[in-house]
Every structure is written in structure tokens, then in C-alpha cells.
Amino acid sequence: MGAHYVEKLKRMMTQIALTPNESSSSLSMFQKSLMPILSVASSMYQVSLLVRQQLYTTGVFNQARLPLPVISVGNLTWGGNGKTPMVEFIARHFVEDGICSLILTRGYGGGDEANMLQRHLVGTHAKIGIGANRVATASSFLSRYGYVNKFSAPCRRQKDNIDHGGKIGAVILDDGMQHLRLARNLDILMINGMMPWGNGRLIPCGPLREPLTALRRVHIAVIHNANMVPDSQLEMIVSQLMKIKQSLPIFFSRLDPSHFFNLQQPSLILPLTTVQNMAVLCVSAVGFANAFVQTIKKLGASYVDRMDFTDHHSFTDMDIHLITEKVKQLERQFAAKPLVVVTEKDYYRDQLALTKINQVNVLVLCSSLNIIEQHGQSQDSFMRLLRSFIDC
């Protein structure tokens, strides 16, 4: 029961962070009473950020440097920015170039993102290094597999069939924006187009990990979920970015759904049309569930309900009971069994817990990130720009 109340409090805090200031009247009295305390905590957090940044700037804290290109993919806000799908996108394109990449990830929250990356990149030369000390993890992998700095040589693209014996050619730093310990050649910032900055405040009062001025360190910005918002909102975000860094290259991305698989029978692949004209319950514990829910609606479900949990939440028996009760309620309402749909992140984090949802089909939605051809930008131009930043 204690875990249930902790999760409820986390959801209330998330709602505070994602509610724009002009809509703060929609918050409960209890949430409003927390604001002064959270504001003080945010101020203390900002001071700690400034001190830490200064320690690296003045050389009191040293950055570690690896003998090959390092690409950081990160964000300024928590969750829902397409960060890990972008890591996979880059790793796959490196595979096409004959480059073996090492992905460094913390394995946070039960390792759901790391598990998903391992599953998606199985059969390729890409390697996944998991651990909070990413410098030590990188050193271990480079010692074990060796490395070859292909980017310092004349650029070899898809026609490069040279076998480097699995030696690592590039490092991709997952969630690296705030990981100042490791120097990088390129910083890619992912931004959630549906909710770019929340209430514009630093955590814990808001979703910002750093002030927006941190954009000055960024080399490439990618506005994610760009297909789910009007052009006017995209233009507003672009304008905000350009005010801080006028020369910043800006791209747009989306998650394209590909298929479902049955949680009870993972080998059973189902088409996207499976949810058409069906009542669907979306269950998720991700950073920004709105994009997931909107995707299911666009796939033609006749009715979509949702149960949202905080990012990386591990489902408890109480959660499974509440999900089961909601399924029964929908079954009575529509006189037919609904479908339950979860994200891949939820599946790789909590597969065993989700199998406890009895007597109903639980489907897992599979998707992949793609760069949208917009404002003269494309996937090809994104990769060309990425290579140019790392001297290829």
C-alpha cells in the first residue's frame, strides 16, 4: 500500500511539472501548497548545477577523453524525448557504414532501455555497455574488443566492407547531456515537441534538468513527436531555440509504429490493424504517455482509455489488480473484451508482472524513430551533419 501512495505522489509531482504556468489554476490545493517548498528545492538544485559546471570549467574536475569519437544523445527535461530511439537510430546507421558502435547507458529503472536496445540491435556489431561509471565501462570495452578510429581516416561509407574484427569505431553516450565526466565530439539534444519545457522550471518543481541556456553547448537539436503537433507549435519551439543559439541545426523526428506482438506469445507478430474498431486500454510507465496514447488512437481504435504510471515504474500486485479491474469495467461497458496495449519499455522492464493481467490479450507496440523530411532537412542530411561534426 505504501508503494501505491508513493506512486500517487509522484504522479501529482509530474502533473505540477508539466502544467504550464498559465494553467496552474487546474492544480489541486494540495499541489499548490507544495509549490513554495518545491521552488526552494529547485533553487538549491540550480546552485549545485552552477557549482558543478564551474568545477569542470576551471579544471578542478577533469573530463575523461576516449581515443575515438563520442556522440552524446541527451535532453533538458526528463522523459518522452525520443532519446533512446535516437541512440538506436544512430547505431543502426553506423552499422550500415561498417562502424561498430559502443552504446554507454546507465541501465536506470530496471534496465528497460538497455534491454530494449540489446533486443533491437541483436545480430549487429553494436555493443551495449551498462553501468553508472560510463568512463570505466568504456575503458573495459575498449580493452576487451579494441578500437579503430575510422572517422580520422578518409570517410568510408556504405561501400566499406573492411572487417575490423568487431573493434569499436564510435561511442554513443545515452542520456549524456548532463554527464560532464566524459568529453564528447557532438551533443545531440532531443526535445519533446508535444511538451518541450513543461512549466519552465528546474526539477523538482519542473521538468528541466538544466536551464535553457544549456542549449549553447548543443551541436544539433531534434524536435521529437513533430508529427503530433501543429506547425505553429513547431515554429514556436524553433524560435525559442534560435533566440538562444542562432546557428543551431534543427531536425524533426517521430516514432513510427511497425507492429504489435502478443505478450503471452512474443513470437506472435500482429499487424497495426489489430486495434482497429477495438476498445483499448493503454497502460504505460514512460516519461510522456500522451504520444503513446495518441498513436493508438490514430491506428483506428474505437475507444481508448489509459492508465499512466511514472517513468520506469515497476508494476506491483496492486497495480495489476487496478488494471484488471479497469479491464473488467471496459468489458461491461462494451460487452466485449478490450485489448490492453503497453510500450516496449514496459515489456522489457516488467514482462513477468504484466503477464499477471489474466483473461485478456496484452499487446506490445513496437516502433522506430525516423527523421521527418521538413524545412529542407532529411535523414541523409542529419547523418551527413553528424559525420561532419566528428571529422568524417
Q: What is the pLDDT of residues 136-146, one digit of tens each?
A: 999 999 999 99
Radius of gyration for the chain, computed over Cα atoms and rounded to the nearest angstrom: 22
Amino acid (1-letter code) at residue 165: G
Whether residue 357 has pLDDT greater than 70: yes
Cell digits of residue 44: 538549491
Average pLDDT over every residue of 328-332: 96
Whether residue 32 has pLDDT greater than 50: yes
Dihedrals phi, psi of 108, to nearest 5 degrees? -70, 155
CA proximity to 104, closest of 168, 161, 13: 168
3-state secondary structure of 161: coil
Provide CB contacts within 8 A for 92, sequence distance 6+.
Answer: 121, 124, 126
3-state secondary structure of 389: helix
> For residue 346, how many other CB atoms are within 10 A of its CB?
27
Dihedrals phi, psi of 107, to nearest 5 degrees? 75, 30
For residue 30, the model assigns a pLDDT of 92
Kindly report which listed range (92-101, 157-166, 265-274, 342-351) carries the lowest average pLDDT score. 157-166
Cell digits of residue 192: 519533446
Whether residue 261 has pLDDT greater than 90: yes
Q: Are 88 and 82 in contact (CB under 8 A)?
A: no
Residue 299, phi-psi category: left (phi > 0), alpha (psi -120 to 50), beta (remainder): alpha
Domains in the chain: ranges and CATH: 2-57 (no CATH), 70-255+371-389 (3.40.50.300), 257-369 (3.40.50)
For residue 164, the model assigns a pLDDT of 58
The Cα–Cα gap between 32 and 16 comes to: 8
Average pLDDT over every residue of 30-34: 92
Q: Are 361 and 302 in contact (CB under 8 A)?
A: no
Q: Are 226 and 253 in contact (CB under 8 A)?
A: yes
For residue 160, the model assigns a pLDDT of 47
The Cα–Cα gap between 52 and 228 comes to: 36
Whether residue 158 has pLDDT greater than 80: no
Cell digits of residue 182: 566524459
pTM recorded for the entire structure? 0.92
In sequence order, what E strands does 225-274 have?
250-262, 269-270
3-state secondary structure of 271: coil
Dihedrals phi, psi of 101, to nearest 5 degrees? -105, 150
Q: Are 139 and 114 in contact (CB under 8 A)?
A: no
